[in-house]
Amino acid sequence: MDAWHAVAAERNAIDYDRLEGYLKVLAYASRLELLALLRRPRTLDEIHLAPGAAQAGENPERPISRQAVQLHLDKLEESGLVRVRLTDRKGKRAIHEYALDQSRLFAVCEELRKVSALSSLVPLDPNATEGLPTAVGPEWAAGPKLVLVHGVYEGHVFALDEPAPHEGWLLGRAKEAAVSLEYDPYVSLENARILRTSLGWALRDLSGSRNGTSRNGAALPRGGDAAVGMGDIIGVGRSLLVFRER
């Protein structure tokens, strides 16, 4: 495939109209701040947003109006980035409560990631390297584990603790899964299992998974098993995890 056709194939894999709609919704600092605030559910009365620099004027500490916050919430709800539900707070009348839909936000970021991955035919500037802040995380504990290398919270370690569960360690979107990837809408509630057998480690696709399971880029047969070892990459939904035995 020549360079032109390769670029065309990359571009065709992106839903530009859909991505444009999300970016228009997110083109406000206040809405981005709302997404951060709504990691836990909040009612309208519990949301206080400071005005942006252009609107701060002489009262930079005064929060933006309740009506303006409601408008931002409505737009985020329409896009599916925020969910709303009726809740009962301490016996009071039912009131709307807003919360971030992390799985929808992850899907949007995945579409935007496709744009950032488009191949450039222009040589890179070798002097344009950006600096990174120094960050040192905790050392990994000894023992088998899965390390998230593509998804939300990249670098997170899922320990495969002993003793091994009878049915292995569940990978899925279910909150109670041993490897819970609830942010990824392309992962089934119960997608796959890691098993420790007498022959070593194995990966099993669960036949009810919608998008299947892969090992090193190759799809497993539905309901099938594959041996896994040090460094193998497991794919469920849009998430990738590296298997390590120590």
CATH number at residue 86: 1.10.10.10
Q: Is residue 220 domain-shared with residue 160, that is, in the same domain? A: yes
> Does one domain contain both 7 and 111?
yes
Strand residue runs (E) in the chain: 42-43, 82-88, 94-100, 145-150, 157-159, 169-172, 179-180, 192-197, 200-205, 213-215, 218-219, 225-227, 233-236, 239-244
Same domain, 105 and 191: no
Q: Half-sphere exposure (CA, 13 Å, Cβ side) for 104?
A: 16
- Please tell me whether residues 30 and 70 are part of one structural domain: yes
> The CATH number of the domain where 210 resides is what?
2.60.200.20
217-232: per-residue pLDDT in tens?
A: 999 999 999 999 999 9
Task: Say if 225 falls within a structural domain.
Answer: yes
Same domain, yes or no: 21 and 109: yes
pLDDT of residue 5 exceeding 50 = no
Instruction: Answer whether residue 237 is part of any domain.
Output: yes
Q: Which residues contact 109 (CB under 8 A, 6 or more apart)?
A: none
Considering the domain boundaries, does residue 126 fall inside one? no
pLDDT band at 53 (very low <50, low <70, confident <90, very high): low
Taking 90 as the threshold, does the pLDDT of residue 235 lie above it?
yes
- End-to-end CA gap in the chain: 40
Q: Is 106 inside any structural domain?
A: yes
Q: Do residues 237 and 155 both lie within one domain?
A: yes
Residue 129 forms part of a structural domain:
no
pLDDT digits (tens, 9 = 90+) for 160-196: 987 677 789 999 999 999 999 999 999 999 999 999 9
Residues 96 and 22 in one domain: yes
For residues 8 and 105, membership in a common domain is answered with yes
Average pLDDT of the residues of the chain: 87
| Structural domain of 47 | 3-116
Residue 122 falls inside a structural domain: no
What are the b/e assignments for 18-28, b being 16+ CB within 10 Å?
A: eeeebeebbee
Q: How many domains does the chain have?
A: 2
Please tell me whether residues 161 and 234 are part of one structural domain. Answer: yes
User: Are 160 and 244 within 8 A, CB to CB?
Assistant: no
Beta pairing, strands 179-180 & 192-197: unpaired
Domain for residue 130, yes or no?
no
Say if residue 11 is in the same domain as residue 96.
yes
Domain boundary among 71, 96, 116: 116
Domain boundary at 64, 95, 116, which? 116
**Tell me: the pLDDT tens digits for 76-89?**
999 999 999 998 76
| pLDDT for 241 | 98
Residues 102 and 13 in one domain: yes
Mean pLDDT for the stretch of residues 116-138: 80
Within a domain: 223: yes
Tell me the pairing of strands 94-100 and 157-159.
unpaired
Q: Which amino acid is at 167?
A: E
Instruction: Note whether 87 and 160 are same-domain residues.
Output: no
